[in-house]
Amino acid sequence: MKCISKRLSGISILLIMVLAFTGCQATNISQPYQTDNLTSVYSVMEGETAGFSQSFASDLCVINGDKTDLKIDMTGSESAGLFDLNNRQVLYGINVHKQVNPASLTKVMTALLALENCKLDDVITATADVEVQEPGAQLCGLKEGDTLTVDQALYALLIYSGNDVAVAIADHVAGSVEKFADMMNERAIALGATNSHFSNPHGLTAADHYTTSYDLYLIFNEARKWDKFTEIIHSTEYSTVYKDKDGNNKYMNFKSTNLLFGSESEYKVPDNITVIGGKTGTTDAAGACLILLSNDSAGNPYISVIMKSDNKNVLYTNMIHLLEGV
């Protein structure tokens, strides 16, 4: 009798579970993304009332290996990808999952965290950490005690690629560069960018700082959902006034580092392509890098990314080759 009783109890529990899944006419079962979960889509039960969880990547472009059907010449570049956002297709990909140094493409993640955690009119006060000492580092000239808004900082970060501004944002958002790097890594995992690890907010060469072309697509794709991000990367130049520690005016005036912008550019994009904007990056370790958001003549959006090119001329030439694949 004990065994029968236990069996009946088990059947009762099963019936309750069935009713819980089917009683409200909802067959869409939510399954959160988890890095240690081996199943992304599964059937909850069989039959007409079967429910399926939504795939984490259902609205993303997915690629396992290389995709080179378009025969695009990427000589001189180590990794590249072309992503059709509306159709959720990878049109071209080579070494998109290879871990490489991202240089200043890192700043896309920095911008995303700033947008998610701050108001644009929040005031940032620069700490002593902003006085970056690395030779050749791109700097806006921030000094300890300088104040500027998050909005101003984002323009300086994404258009001019100021490494000192990246540090100022990190300190403002998280209290330190180290804590901000932890936030970057947590956000990367949440986006599915599991082949990445960030050690700083700017991309200057550091141990254990790497990402992939595919992960950058994921991060950039999330950032573009913010109108302010798209507005900034579409800007060809920027001027603003901020304050030093004594309240005196200081000035920023700079042009975009993206050489595919403007009528003076020596690089001509295909006639059917409009470059909305993007982010550049260059260090000795990373080579020349670029990620772009572009539209075709019908207004359909694409993300293109190239990592570790031999030099800027190779980078922009290959980016044009890539955009010809749209």
pLDDT per residue as tens digits for the range 267-277: 999 999 999 99
Residue 15 lies inside a defined structural domain of this protein: no
Strand locations in the chain (E): 28-29, 52-53, 77-84, 89-94, 123-125, 147-149, 237-243, 249-255, 273-283, 287-296, 301-309
Least confident of 45-54, 73-82, 231-240: 45-54
The CATH number assigned to the domain holding 314 equals 3.40.710.10
Q: Are residues 45 and 124 in the same domain?
A: no
Higher per-residue confidence, 239 vs 39:
239
One domain, residues 41 and 94 = no
In a domain, 129, yes or no: yes
Residue 18 belongs to a domain:
no
Long-range interactions of 270-275: CB distance < 8 A, separation 24+: 270/320, 270/323, 270/324, 270/326, 272/296, 272/297, 272/326, 273/297, 273/323, 273/326
53, 139: one domain = no
Count structural domains, the chain: 2
Are the CB atoms for 144 and 128 separated by under 8 Å? yes
Range of the domain at 31: 25-58
Please give the pLDDT value at position 7.
42
Both 159 and 280 in one domain: the answer is yes
**What does residue 140 show for φ and ψ, rounded to 5 degrees?**
-90, -10
pTM of the model: 0.84
Q: How far apart are the first and last CA of the chain?
A: 70
Q: What is the mean pLDDT of residues 320-326?
A: 96
Same domain, 100 and 214: yes
Mind listing the pLDDT tens digit for each residue in 213-246?
A: 999 999 999 999 999 999 999 999 999 999 999 9
**Residue at token pair 């932890």:** 182
Token pair 């005031």 is at which residue? 123
Domain co-membership, 108 together with 244 = yes
The answer to the question of residue 85 being in a domain is: yes
Task: Looking at the structure, tell me whether residues 107 and 210 fall in a common domain.
Answer: yes
110 and 247 in a common domain = yes
Q: In this predicted model, what pLDDT tens digit does every residue of 86-98 receive, in sequence order?
A: 999 999 999 999 9
Angle between helices 163-174 and 107-117 (to 10 degrees): 40
For residue 36, the model assigns a pLDDT of 56
